[in-house]
Amino acid sequence: MTVLSVARAASMPTARLRAAAHARASRRASPQVPPRPAGAARVAMPRPSATRVRSSASRRASSLRVRASDGGGAPSPNVADDAPGAKRTPKPLDLAAIPRPPLRLAAGLAAAGCVESSYLAFEKLTGGAVTCPLTGCQTALSSGYSVLFGVPLSAYGAAAYGLVAALAWWGAGMADAVFDEPNDDGDVSENSLASPERRADADAYAKARTLLCFSGFGLAGVSSYLLYVLAVPLGGAECVYCLTSAALSFAICAVGWSGLEPKKAASTGPASLALYAVTALSCYVVIGSSAAKVEKSARNATLALPYAAPVIDARSTAYSRDLASFLKAKGAKMYGAFWCSHCEDQKEIFGAGADLPYVECFPDGWQRGAPLASACANANITGFPTWILEDGTKLEGDKSLKELAQAAGFRAPPAGPPDADAQLDDLLG
């Protein structure tokens, strides 16, 4: 076979050998393509890259057609807004939908509470007696519930009211920035209402209103506990300062609640009520335990004061002696205690020579737990000094001669010849 092949190859021309070798090399290098039948049409194979480009362009064109149909038949000119990272123009604020509570009123109420609490704290720290038209003010301020960790409870109240007043005033300033008309002609432009500065002020204003709401509920919780103290532990003591503070706290709470939108109120309401309950319960635990310790230490104290009548140095006058005699004749009584400094001041006003209708409430001395004298207990005396006139009028605290004369209906007698006893008293000093 080999010899035959060599013979055939030798018999072929050189050109034909070269053509056969070239054909074999072409068949190895390219895939086999079936021959195209005679008369068949040429089929063009699609190019993948071109197909993708046409498809992407078709989708972009269809998107523009849909957008144009939604906008009334014309394509949207602001196509760049749909691009990623594009800035959209904010909508103007709807001022009618934003609440505007009287924040300056809340600031004024909180400022009044701060002044009241500061006055009570000052009197507590200096040991003075507060001016009160009711009988239970001094009782409440001298009880163990008026001090927490050695600091008057009213001092904490003054600080809390001051912070709330500052918060409400700041919120009122934010409200002016949001609602006030920026133009001199009285018109609010749409551009100004959609500005980032105006939106930042609106966000700050919303935060101020929310914080004021929470602060109001916190103050209301403390006031609720103090009302409980007046009613239960202090036996129904009437303290005008405590009642005024409670009224201020609930008024601030109402203003803060009115500053919330309906949706915000629905979400904030449970949290506000929870804060109210937690605050009242915390006061019950902390202040109540502190008061119990104070009362226990007071009961364990062995302090005792024997009875000793105060020495009156002031000289009486004819008017003071006549007034004292008139009060005594009319059945008026002055109830006091020998250790009471205000009782001593009242006696000094009348002078040493005046015969006062005085009733001592601790004739056997004083010690912790000592009861009042029966006359004082029957008259329901809760503070010293206390005047009870003929018609039942009760006057608490030391009073001037003019106040007592007007209340009792005393009129000085007409001037006459000088009294010999009065002249002798003046000479002797």
Let me know whether 170 and 110 are in one domain: yes
Is the CA virtual torsion 211, 217, 219, 221 positive or negative?
negative
| Structural domain of 296 | 95-300
Strand blocks (E) in 260-369 = 304-305, 333-336, 358-360, 366-367
Looking at residue 413, its pLDDT comes to 64
Q: Give the number of domains in the chain.
A: 2
Let me know whether 326 and 286 are in one domain: no
Strand partners, 394: 388
Residue 188 inside a domain? The answer is yes
Kindly state the greatest CA–CA separation across the chain: 185
Residue 276 inside a domain? The answer is yes
Let me know whether 242 and 324 are in one domain: no
Non-local CB neighbours of 5 within 8 Å, separated by 6+ positions: none
**Angstrom distance (rounded) from CA 106 to CA 233:** 31
The string of DSSP letters for 75-94 reads --S-GGGGSTTPPPPPPPP-
Say how far residue 350 (Cα) sits from the centre of its chain.
Answer: 49
Residue 63 inside a domain? The answer is no
Conformation bin of residue 37: beta by default, left when phi > 0, alpha when psi is -120 to 50: beta
Task: Note whether 164 and 219 are within 8 A (CB).
Answer: yes
Looking at residue 264, its pLDDT comes to 86
Let me know whether 285 and 371 are in one domain: no
Task: Note whether 389 and 408 are within 8 A (CB).
Answer: yes
Residue 197 inside a domain? The answer is yes
**Angstrom distance (rounded) from CA 25 to CA 113:** 107
**Collapsed DSSP state (helix, strand, coil) of residue 305:** strand
* Token digits of residue 107: 């600031």
Torsion of CA 68, 71, 74, 77, to 10 degrees: -90
Looking at residue 219, its pLDDT comes to 95
Residue 410 inside a domain? The answer is yes
One-letter amino acid at 376 equals C
**Angstrom distance (rounded) from CA 193 to CA 94:** 8
Let me know whether 130 and 276 are in one domain: yes
Let me know whether 120 and 267 are in one domain: yes
**Angstrom distance (rounded) from CA 376 to CA 5:** 153
Query: Which strand (E) or helix (H) includes residue 386?
Result: strand 386-388
DSSP tag of 186: S
Residue 162 inside a domain? The answer is yes
Let me know whether 124 and 199 are in one domain: yes
Where is the domain boundary, 300, 332, 349? 300
CATH of the domain at 144: 1.20.1440.130
The string of DSSP letters for 408-419 reads HT--PPPP-SPP
CATH of the domain at 412: 3.40.30.10
Where is the domain boundary, 252, 269, 300? 300
Task: Note whether 339 and 373 are within 8 A (CB).
Answer: no
Looking at residue 95, its pLDDT comes to 81
Task: Note whether 245 and 143 are within 8 A (CB).
Answer: no
Q: Strand 333-336 relative to strand 386-388: parallel, antiparallel, unpaired?
A: antiparallel
**Angstrom distance (rounded) from CA 319 to CA 403:** 13
User: Do you find a cis peptide bond into 371, omega within 30 degrees of 0?
Assistant: no
Query: Which strand (E) or helix (H) includes residue 396?
Result: strand 394-396
In tens digits, what is the pLDDT along the chain, a chain of 429 residues? 444 444 454 445 454 546 555 556 555 545 454 455 444 444 444 454 444 444 444 444 444 343 434 444 444 444 444 445 545 656 777 788 888 999 999 999 999 999 999 999 998 888 777 888 777 788 888 888 988 988 999 999 999 999 999 999 999 999 988 887 554 444 455 556 667 888 888 899 999 999 999 999 999 999 999 999 989 988 888 889 999 999 999 999 999 999 998 888 888 889 999 999 999 999 999 998 888 887 777 665 556 788 888 889 888 999 999 999 999 999 999 999 999 989 999 999 999 889 999 999 999 888 877 889 999 999 999 889 999 998 989 999 889 999 999 999 998 765 544 455 555 555 554
Let me know whether 143 and 277 are in one domain: yes
Let me know whether 323 and 420 are in one domain: yes
Let me know whether 234 and 99 are in one domain: yes
**Angstrom distance (rounded) from CA 401 to CA 321:** 11
Residue 361 inside a domain? The answer is yes
**Angstrom distance (rounded) from CA 386 to CA 398:** 8
Residue 17 inside a domain? The answer is no
Looking at residue 294, its pLDDT comes to 77
Looking at residue 257, its pLDDT comes to 94
What is the layout of strands, in order, in the sheet containing 386-388?
358-360, 333-336, 386-388, 394-396
Let me know whether 278 and 365 are in one domain: no
Where is the domain boundary, 271, 300, 329? 300
One-letter amino acid at 119 equals Y
Conformation bin of residue 187: beta by default, left when phi > 0, alpha when psi is -120 to 50: beta
pTM score: 0.52
First to last CA, the chain: 172
Let me know whether 276 and 357 are in one domain: no
**Collapsed DSSP state (helix, strand, coil) of residue 429:** coil
**Collapsed DSSP state (helix, strand, coil) of residue 253:** helix
- Long-range contact set of residues 281-285: C-beta below 8 Å, sequence gap at least 24: 283/221, 283/222, 283/225, 283/226, 284/225, 284/228
